Amino acid sequence: MRQLRQMLRLAGSGTSSREIAVALGIARSTVQDNLQRAAAIGLSWPLPGELTDDALENKLFARNGIKQGTRRRVEPNWADLAVELKKPGVTLLILWEEYRGSHPEGYGYSRFCELFRSFEQRLSPTMRQEHAAGDKVFVDYSGKKIPIVDRKTGEIREAEIFVAVLGASNFTFAEATWTQTLTDWIGSHVRMFRFFDGVPRLIVPDNLKSGVNHASFYDPEINRSYGRMASHYGVGVLPARPKKPRDKSKVENGVRFAHTCILGRLRKLTFFSLAEANAAIGQALDRINDHLMRRLGVTRRHVFESVERAALASLPVKTTNSPNGVWSVSRPMITSSSKASFIPSPCPHSPAGRSESNGAYHRDLSPRQAHRRPSAPLWRPSSWNRPTSHAQFPPAIR
């Protein structure tokens, strides 16, 4: 600003713009531009004494061309369009055609898309991921645990928190389980589907051992029991890629809400059973799902009820032979028995040493080989003796 004052002083004394440029060591065009700006606002030397450097800069270089107030053309409710865009098959072209149908003098398609993208940038500084309604549910454990006290002994045992978030509506489910083992992992999925009263197209889990045997960028190996559960509900499993946190960004946000709205708000309460903890978590879930999303102006429950619920597949009618079973792989012994859950059971005749898959379902232990189901073995869980079924033995030793 000191140089600008010198420029105005020299111009007031009749010095040419070329001479001013040489004297101050700046371009002639810069001198001419600044003098034109000063003349346009009626500013000349000597300057008023109360005019500070900041005020002088604001007068000369005030931003031009920015109009305050509403735009000349009618704009749609961008938050409503963001919700509509989550519905299956809905595109910006369809929304623009509906907008022009109501407002023939409205924006063209390119300007419409530009304004919508600028609205999306206000939602998040990163690239937005579009999730269609009923497409994906993101699941993971929170990592932080909730303490539960044994009423009799006073012993404190920590429970895991399972979190699931639907992609389109951000509708959230959470519950406490004792462990992250396969039984609790699959059981949480079953209760999650009941909570949603439907099934999405895909499950996106983290690479937890209970769900993914081998994590891979291209070809992950899904746990067999987890895969059977997915087949039972007609849902696909698409694990998040290793070292790609944005693949499961939805559930990471859900975990953050679980930390603040569940663990943070319940930190002063003492729970004496898993049921008590889950009852309190259920109340916290209602608070999360009924909370108004600041930028969209609607709740998660509203988006779920109006957009995503209808896009979910229905729950399977058949609930027998629950998919909560656990698969184990064992080798038939020379006695034509296989071991699962530390108790030997007869298996169909096959060469000794070949791996056999055993699907253990609560009270049913059924060895399976290839695509045929053998006759169910005689299972006596109270006895450690080998159950005998002569039909399972090879012909030579029957």
Domain edges within the chain: 2-60, 78-123, 136-311, 326-397
Residue 377: closest CA among 361, 390, 396, 395: 390
pLDDT tens, per residue, the chain with 398 residues: 567 777 878 887 888 888 888 888 888 888 888 888 888 877 777 777 777 777 777 777 765 544 445 567 888 888 888 878 877 667 888 899 899 998 888 899 999 999 988 887 776 554 455 677 888 888 888 888 889 998 888 899 999 999 998 888 888 999 999 998 888 999 999 999 999 999 998 888 887 777 677 666 666 777 888 888 888 998 888 887 665 665 556 656 667 777 777 887 788 889 999 999 999 999 988 888 888 877 677 888 988 888 888 889 889 886 544 444 454 444 455 554 444 443 444 455 445 445 444 444 433 333 444 444 444 444 444 444 555 555 655 666 65
Give the C-alpha separation, 249 to 38, whole Å. 53
Alpha carbon dihedral 211, 216, 217, 221, in 10-degree steps, equals: -50
Give CA separation, 213 vs 43, 209, 219, in Å.
76, 6, 11
Q: What is the CATH number of domain 2-60?
A: 1.10.10
User: In this structure, is the dihedral angle defined by the CA atoms of residues 132, 136, 140 and 142, taken in order, positive or negative?
Assistant: positive
In the beta sheet, which residues pair with residue 356?
330
DSSP 77-146: -HHHHHHHTTSTT--HHHHHHHHHHH-TTS--HHHHHHHHHHHHHHH-SSPPPP--TTTEEEEEE-SS-E
Q: What is the CATH number of domain 136-311?
A: 3.30.420.10
| 75, 116 contact by CB (below 8 A) | no
Tokens 């895969």: give the residue.
227
Strands 202-205 and 136-141, by their bridges, are: parallel
Tokens 């020299």: give the residue.
10
| 234, 315 contact by CB (below 8 A) | no
Say if residue 76 is preceded by a cis peptide, omega within 30 of 0: no
Give the C-alpha separation, 6 to 100, whole Å. 56
H/E stretch holding 225: helix 224-233
Residue 218 confidence (pLDDT): 65
Residue 326 confidence (pLDDT): 53
Give the C-alpha separation, 266 to 280, whole Å. 8
12: alpha, beta or left, given left = phi > 0 and alpha = psi -120 to 50?
A: alpha
DSSP summary character for residue 221: E
Residue 62 confidence (pLDDT): 66
Give the largest CA-CA distance in the chain.
Answer: 123
- How open is the CA angle 315-319-321, to the nearest 5 degrees? 140
- How open is the CA angle 76-79-82, to the nearest 5 degrees? 100
